[in-house]
Amino acid sequence: MKSVGVLGWELPPFFAGGLGIHTLNLFSILGKILDITLYIPKFTDKDIHYNFKVKMVNYDPVGSPYERNKEFYQKVMDYNEILINEFDKDHDIIHMHDWITVPAGIKLKEKYRKKLVFTVHSTEYDRSGWFYPQERILKIEKEGMMAADRIIAVSHYTKKIISEKFSINPAKVTVIHNGVKSSLFSSFNKNYDLKNKVLYFGRVTPQKGSKFFIEAAYKVNKYIPSAEFIVAGEGDQLNEIKNFSKSLGLENTVNFYGFVSESESVRLYLDSDVFILPAVSEPFGMTVIESLSVGTPAIISKTTGVGEALNNVLKADFWDTDKIANYIIAVLKYRKLRETLGNFGKLEASRFSWENTALKTLEVYNSL
Amino acid sequence: MKLIVMFLEAHQPRRLSNFRYQDIGIRENYFWDEKNKEIIKRISQNSYIPTLSLLKDYSVPITLSFSGILLEQLWKYEPTVPDLLKEYFKASGGEMAIESYYHSLSSIWNPERFLNEVRKDMDIKKEIYDKDFRTLRNTEMIYSDKIDEIVNQLNVKNILTEGTDSIISKYNPNFIYKTPFGHNIFLRNYRLSDDISFRFSNREWNEYPLFSEKYLNWLSNSPGDLINLFMDFETFGEHQRKETGIFEFLEAFIERAKDYNLKFATVNEAAESITPRGQISIKEYISWADIPRDMSAWLGNELQKDLFEILKSLEKCIPEEIYNYLLTSDHLYYVSLGTTPDITVHSYFNPYGSAYDAYINFRNILEDLRLRYCNGN
């Protein structure tokens, strides 16, 4: 049995970001057929059972990989140092995830002469919204891509960034889309009576384009003053967005729900007419698949990776809030449009599964 | 001698402009005439002009139809094409088919409107070409016994439609049949037609490349009185670009047909020289579109049905000079969500990016018109 050492950062139920969800779902499946050991910072003293081995590195993370400050960078470097010492040299493959595990990955490859796989969930360009990306992080990402024997990108959109912005041979990059936990989202029967609710669900950051959501809300409000716009999520930009919304006189139109758990999110999707993701640069966009799985139509930016595999969503440039507003109004006004986008979208979303993701990841391992 | 009955359909809709909800009550230009002009000019250069010149040079008798709304746009943007058409008819004895002027679906919901459209088409074609044309080709070959009954009120002699799988399992499309009301009915030989219109330049096709000798051999070995080759006029030069060798093929095909004991004839000439082989009754609507060959290309999903119902309900209040152009079937065709192979064909023709965009656009326009002319009812 092949042995894979996975260098991770977060794992539900703790720090359940996109990276954590990916790690849990993918390796729960691969853990059944491969000898998987996941290395993560020690986030608990409790003994939690997973379908794969978990080795907690004695290091308190305190922070999310999405934070963009100096302290966080230093913490990543510290974690990577410790990781190298605790790594078991008997693994056949080292699998790193995003820049936060790259320094250790590269050193371990040199030290033990093992094959190195690098999954790129997002690049510094995405996280910065293409606005002053941090050079030192770009450098780490580039080094990781150079050192890796194979790179996995979560979309063709991301593969393009890897080859064009980092000058990496695209032949080395395999695109593997994320899956969705279908049982959680798809077991509901959505009804398409008008709820008059428009949903934004995700971190409130420049990357996700929350500002454009507010702009669209302002434009829709002129035509449908009764429509409620929900911002569910937290992030660096939350206060700025709240102020922006207030400055446009949308106090009674836009409501901020704060942090929302996974189970609450299902309810939110169900109770909304349409989900909006106007991301400036979104490598995949798992929430789009979640929303569609529930049967809620989605309006997404053209710079959202998952859009490349979807016909039954509405796509606009993230900055084109006139067009986004036209789409929102149409979905709210025209019931047949809601129904058709919802029903066909649900069908299309059902094609995404973690089993597929696992199978394709296995092919990458086997090709080494 | 077996006859080759070639029928070419030329049609371009008057495409609707990109119309946002925010435009309602403000904008009044519902038609994307800049785009329409660009497309008409392009297709004229790629297809109409070179193909008509070729047909004229060989004086080969075939049947053509140019939809009323295409002729209108040609007069406006590319009048050399209608002139060339005239020259072709003079040189060859070719035939013009008649159809619903606005290329609409009126035949399936409003017989009165349908008859008016066909009469208008007949009148205008008679006026230009000074001839009574008596071959009917309804929008996209849509046909059933009901349509046979409706057109009985007109001076129509021949009807063209699709040879669907279920029909040709009982009736060889290489013969002429009679309809219940006594019209001659011609069934498209879709295999041999699609060999040119769809497969000609397809390198994956095991018969690629298609040369005229091979093709004429197939025709001469296909048993019956005639071969009905019905296809889009735009096949020549637009769908199959000149670089594919389509014009060289067409020339050789015309020139060598006689060597295979094959002769070109118009629909009407064929009807005069061939005895029909019995009667065909077709209960459900058929068409030549998509794989199901029924109405689903236009009315296959809820979005299309929604638009069609609204359109019908606004008949009495929207001014006719706008309403007629909204009836063109293409506006609904763009909203098809179809199956995978058909989707490729649909998106090739779709100027709006997606079926959903086409729906939203059309729906917004109908909303504007409803508020403007129908007191919001």
Do B337 and A340 lie within an 8 Å CB cutoff? yes
Cα gap A207→A205, rounded to integer Å = 5
Q: Do A337 and B354 touch (CB under 8 A)?
A: no
Q: What is the pLDDT of residue A250?
A: 97
- Structure confidence at residue A68 (pLDDT): 58
Catalytic positions of B, written as ranges:
140
pTM of the model: 0.93
> Cα–Cα distance between B100 and B122 in angstroms, integer?
9
Could you give the percent of chain B with pLDDT greater than 70?
Answer: 97
pLDDT digits (tens, 9 = 90+) for B72-89: 999 999 999 999 999 999
Q: How far apart, in whole angstroms, are the C-alpha atoms of residue A180 and residue A178? A: 7
Q: Is the pLDDT of residue B1 over 80?
A: yes
Q: Is B120 exposed, middle or buried (0-12, 13-18, 19+ CB in 10 A)?
A: middle
- Residues in A closer than 8 angstroms to B360, CB to CB, are 326-327, 330, 334, 337
The DSSP secondary-structure symbol of B11 reads -
Please check whether residue A131 touches B, CB under 8 A: no
Of the two residues B117 and A43, the one the predictor is more confident about is: B117
pLDDT of B171 > 70? The answer is: yes
Cis peptide, bond prior to residue B209, ω within 30 of zero: yes
Using a CB–CB cutoff of 8 Å, tell me whether A219 touches chain B. Answer: yes
CA–chain centroid gap for B130, Å, is 22
- Best mutation target among B304, B356, B363, B366 (most A Cβ atoms within 10 Å) is B356
Residue B328 backbone phi and psi in degrees, to 5: -55, 130
Asked whether the beta carbons of residue A330 and residue B22 sit closer than 8 angstroms, the reply is no
The tens digit of pLDDT for each residue in B243-294 reads 999 999 999 999 999 999 999 999 999 999 999 999 999 999 999 988 889 9
What residues of chain B lie within 8 A of the CB of A334, using their CB?
306, 359-360, 363
**pLDDT tens per residue across span B21-36:** 999 999 989 999 999 9
Q: Which pLDDT belongs to residue A212?
A: 98
Among residues B123, B116, B121, the alpha carbon closest in space to that of B136 is found at B121
* Interface with B, mutate which of A340, A348, A351 (most B CBs under 10 A): A340
**pLDDT recorded at residue A186:** 81
Report CB contact under 8 Å: A329, B21: yes
Q: Which chain B residue has the Cα nearest residue A222?
A: B22
How far does the CA of residue B359 sit from the closest CA of chain A (Å)? Answer: 8
Position with higher pLDDT, A46 vs B242: B242
Q: Residue B194: what pLDDT?
A: 96
ipTM of model: 0.91
Q: B356 to chain A: nearest residue by CA?
A: A314
Return the pLDDT at B156.
95
pLDDT for B288-308, tens place per residue?
988 889 999 999 999 999 999
Percent of chain B with pLDDT over 90: 91
Measure CA B128 to chain center: 20
Give the closest residue to A285 by CA, choosing from A170, A151, A137, A126: A126
Pick A322's closest partner by Cβ from B22, B359, B367.
Answer: B22
Put simply, whether A338 touches B (Cβ < 8 Å) is no
Give the closest residue to A50 by CA, choosing from A37, A64, A65, A59.
A37
Are the Cβ atoms of A334 and B360 closer than 8 angstroms?
yes
In angstroms, how far apart are the furthest CA atoms of chain A? 64
**pLDDT category of residue B130 using cuts at 50, 70 and 90:** confident
pLDDT at A12: 83
Chain B residues inside the 8 Å CB shell of A336? 302-303, 306
Kindly report the nearest CA distance between residue A338 and chain B, in angstroms: 10
DSSP string, B81-146: HHHHHHHHHHHH--EE-B--TT-BSGGGT-HHHHHHHHHHHHHHHHHHH-S---EE--GGG-B-HH
Q: Which of residues 67-126 of A touch B (CB under 8 A)?
A: none
On chain A, the residues whose CB falls within 8 A of the CB of B337 are 312, 340, 344
Cβ distance of B21 and A219 shorter than 8 Å = no
Helix (H) or strand (E) holding A265: helix A262-270
Residues of chain A with pLDDT under 50: none
CB A292 within 8 A of CB A345: yes
The mean pLDDT value for B144-149 works out to: 97
Q: Do B302 and A340 touch (CB under 8 A)?
A: yes
pLDDT on residue B304: 97
Q: What is the pLDDT of residue A61?
A: 57
Least confident of A11-20, A185-194, B130-139, B192-201: A11-20
Q: Which of A322, A333, A339 sits opposite B20 (nearest CB)?
A: A322
**pLDDT for residue B70 is more than 80:** yes
Answer yes or no: do B22 and A337 touch at CB < 8 A: no
Asked if residue A266 lies in contact with residue A294, where contact means CB atoms within 8 angstroms, the answer is: yes
Q: A340–B301: do the CB atoms touch at under 8 Å? A: yes
Q: Cβ of A219 and B22 within 8 Å? A: yes
> B interface toward A at CB cutoff 8 Å?
20-22, 301-303, 306, 337, 343, 354, 356-357, 359-360, 363-364, 367
User: Residue B50's pLDDT band (boundaries 50, 70, 90)?
Assistant: very high
Measured CA angle at A17 (ends A12, A19), to 5 deg = 85
